[in-house]
Amino acid sequence: MQLCELTIGNTQVRNNIFLAPMAGYTDYAIRKLQIDMGAGLTFTELVSAKGLVFGGKNNNTLIYSGDNKDKTAVQLFGADPYYMRSACESDYLRDFSIIDINMGCPVPKVYKNGEGSALLKDIKKAESVVKECVKSGKTITVKIRTGLKYGDDIASEYAKMAENSGAKLITVHGRVREAYYSGEPDYKAIEKAKHSVKIPVIANGGIFTESDADKMLEQTGADGVMIARGAIADPFLIARLTNTEHKHDLKSYILEHLTLSSKIYTDHTATVEFRKFVPYYFKGISGVKDLKLALCKANDLQELRELIEKGV
């Protein structure tokens, strides 16, 4: 894995291994842990542009980054250029340098609003969104897919549009919308996008091991990789890719996850939120069926901590 610093607009990031934005997963706790594992840049969960403009109740939780704003980009979704720019200029995002525009989310409730991957249907609207966000003075990056349906290959077209509109980096998820998160990435489409622009291109999709990351870079020529579910299923993958020394084993990592979660959630919410991570943390480990069940039934963080201390 070829590590290198990257320049994104006026921002220098320490390496080219990024943590992807994942709704419901990349909250402050996971971003902080993966920054400690060596991630060059992390991305928040999807944040609604209109939610920022109108003061949505979850804004502070979604964007909270502690002392790590320099290693955190806010991923913004929306389709109205006015609200997208207004969100970039909002007080909520004042201390963040990089704003990433989501043009890849496939979920129906986002797509049906004309947001996320729906912007891949209308390059002129997508262009106006990027241009307005650039006017905010923030460093703007864009995350896209290779198309909407199998057989599409529009990543290079959108990459060129984004670059010409002022974006400073493109991430290409090497799958079409209808593939969601499964199937082999379209390496050729990412490679084509990479060779169509001069700004950095980051490759995303299907990276769960070091060999997956190596293959992605070899096949695409991309400037770096973005790790999504692979970093949840294997908390130490990014550390191995970046050759980062750390203090954690699985037990201490999970306990730190719980501690960090308590900074942004109530005890009850942190306990409930943790349940979605249980299948990932213990996948492939024998003899933990009862522990997994107990963790998913725990009533508070203290009970979770006691179970982890005894069972891991």
The residue written with tokens 């060999």 in the block is: 211
Catalytic residues, by residue number, are: 105
Contact of 152 with 179, CB cutoff 8 Å:
no
Contact of 51 with 74, CB cutoff 8 Å:
no
Contact of 25 with 271, CB cutoff 8 Å:
no
Alpha-carbon distances, residue 66 vs 17, 33, 97, 255, 295 (angstroms): 21, 12, 15, 19, 27
**Residue ranges in the chain assigned as alpha helix (H):** 28-36, 49-53, 59-63, 81-88, 108-111, 123-134, 155-164, 187-194, 210-220, 229-233, 237-242, 250-261, 267-274, 278-281, 289-297, 301-311
